[in-house]
Amino acid sequence: MSRLVMKFGGTSVADLDRIRRVGRLVAAEVAAGHKVAVVVSAMAGKTNELVAWTDGAGPAINGLPISDDEYDVVVASGEQVTAGLLAIALRNVGVNARSWMGWQIPIIADDAHGRARIDDVLPDKLIAALDSGQVAVIAGFQGVTRDDRIATLGRGGSDTSAVAIAAAIKAVRCDIYTDVDGVYTTDPRIESRARRLPKISYEEMLEMASLGAKVLQTRSVELAMSQNVPVRVLSSFVEPGEAPGQGTIVCDEEEIMEKRIVSGVAYSRDEAKISLFGLPDHPGVSSEIFGALADANVNVDMIVQSHARTADTANMEFTVGKRDAARTVEIIRAAQRRIGFDDVQVNEDVSKVSVIGVGMRSHTGVAKTMFGALAEKGVNIQVISTSEIKISVLIDAAYTELAVRALHAAYGLDKL
């Protein structure tokens, strides 16, 4: 009998009815002969409520609570509740089950409270329980530090919990149940001809996740890739008695027979463009700017620098997350004398559109197709950035849907 991890997010366990449905999905896998470990998130909305309470109990600095260790104590209770309720629901359909908190397994985390990383999962007790025929219902998103405090893994951390557990117990697969039935070539709300991908490589999924496709948490994909855990994304929103679909398997590139050049088109509206004009053109200026931003924990994404036609000054454009935009301008302005520039401007009316595919490594012409398709629709490209398997462009936000649909068609993704 093979071990299987099933993970259910907040919308899948949003209320008692949904929790009972999840119980039936788990019971079906048990009946199919699997030894099942289930990882659960907090009921939808619960985490936000608990976070708001921690904010109310004491003021926050830079968006992080002062008392991040106690923040973790409060917020981790959400997953504890779901784990207990699902264990009850499972017993109620005749499945032997018990709940496990992070400290009971234990899942050892570092002490970066609120955004901790999993150092280790000690799987012996869990494996013994599974081998005894008991389903393990595990509170996601949480671990225990080496000095016995509760630590949470940050938003979306339950995906990471699930993959780490799957690696530790050597599960055949980690099934991530969510409110969509797989990973799509693009957002179906924008392009109705978007197709579900039967398989996608870890690398592509990683780019998709970090480029705005909110199906899986980036860290969980990194972990799955490094531990070589096959992940499947599928929907928990099936009627009683109905089986979930095949979903999308996230796996090693080698295991995907028919490789596509481009697998998907992603977009993000969370960007803001910062433009600096009249920078002195000498070494050390970039390091001055980005050093100050790194010190303030501002994450900078795309960067381009251009030289003014006249005079020996340069201009620079880069993007940051929209919620960091105002703070970025403050930091830059505070350092104006030191950096020496004429003007700084912000544009929040931009979006980033990206095409992703491992096939880019071996195929040329992907960029040409992209720029051609956008030009044809009159979409102006403001900034370009590339990696080995993706090309991203920053465009006027008003053109987002148009650009996504044009690129989806240009790479033939609607004919998969």
Residue selected from 30, 36, 86, 265 as contacting its own copies according to rule CB under 8 A: 86
User: How far is the C-alpha of 414 from the C-alpha of 416, rounded, in Å?
Assistant: 6
252 close to 313: Cβ distance less than 8 angstroms: no
Q: Please tell me whether residue 81 binds its own copies under the rule CB under 8 A.
A: yes
* Three-class DSSP category at 201: strand
Both structure tokens of 59 = 């003021």
By CB under 8 A, tell whether 54 contacts its own copies: yes
How many residues sit close enough to its own copies to count as binding (CB under 8 A)? 41
CA–CA separation, 363 and 337 (whole Å): 47
Give the interface segment with its own copies, choosing from 86-94, 275-283, 297-305, 342-350 (CB under 8 A): 86-94
For residue 321, the cross-strand partners are 271
Mark the segment that binds its own copies (CB under 8 A) among 12-20, 167-175, 176-184, 189-197.
Answer: 12-20
CA–CA distance, 118 with 152 (Å, rounded to integer): 9
Q: Is 89 a residue that touches its own copies (CB under 8 A)? A: yes
- Minimum CB distance to its own copies smaller for 77 or for 227: 77
- Which amino acid, 341? F
Distance CA 57, CA 53 (A): 6
Identity of the residue, 54 or 160, whose beta carbon is nearer to its own copies in the bound complex = 54
DSSP per residue over 351-396, as a string?
EEEEEE-GGGGT---HHHHHHHHHHHTTPPEEEEEEETTEEEEEEE
Examine residue 252 and tell whether it contacts its own copies (CB under 8 A). Answer: no
**Which CB, 94 or 283, lies closer to its own copies?**
94
Q: Is 28 helix (H, G, I), strand (E, B) or coil?
A: helix
Residue 33, by phi and psi: left (phi above 0), alpha (psi -120 to 50) or beta?
left
Nearer to its own copies, 1 or 57 (CB): 57
- Please report whether residue 47 would count as binding its own copies according to CB under 8 A: no
Q: Binding of its own copies at residue 115 (CB under 8 A)?
A: no
The piece of 78-86, 218-226, 271-279, 298-306 that touches its own copies (CB under 8 A) is 78-86
User: Closest approach of Cβ 86 to its own copies, in Å?
Assistant: 8
Angle (CA) 191 219 329, round 5°: 75
Q: Which stretch binds its own copies (CB under 8 A): 72-80, 179-187, 297-305, 317-325?
A: 72-80
Tell me the sheet residues that pair with 201.
251
62 binding its own copies? (CB under 8 A):
no
User: Residue 79, Cα to own-chain centre: how many angstroms?
Assistant: 19
Tokens found for residue 361: 């490594």
Interface with its own copies by CB under 8 A: which range of 59-67, 272-280, 293-301, 399-407?
59-67
Per CB under 8 A, does 58 bind its own copies?
yes
Q: How far apart are CA 241 and CA 264, in angstroms?
A: 32
Burial 181-202 (b: 16+ CB within 10 A, else e): bbbbbbbeebbeebbbbebbbb
Residue whose CB is less far from its own copies, 61 or 243:
61
- Confirm or reject binding of residue 74 to its own copies (CB under 8 A): yes
Q: Which of residues 296-335 bind its own copies (CB under 8 A)?
A: none
- The residues facing 137 across adjacent strands are 38, 99
- Tell me whether residue 89 or residue 183 sits nearer to its own copies (CB atom): 89
CB of 388 to its own copies, least distance (A): 44
C-beta of 50 vs 274, nearer to its own copies: 50
Residues in contact with its own copies by CB under 8 A are 16, 19-20, 50, 53-54, 56-59, 65-67, 69-74, 76-78, 80-81, 83-89, 91-92, 98-99, 101, 103-104, 148-150
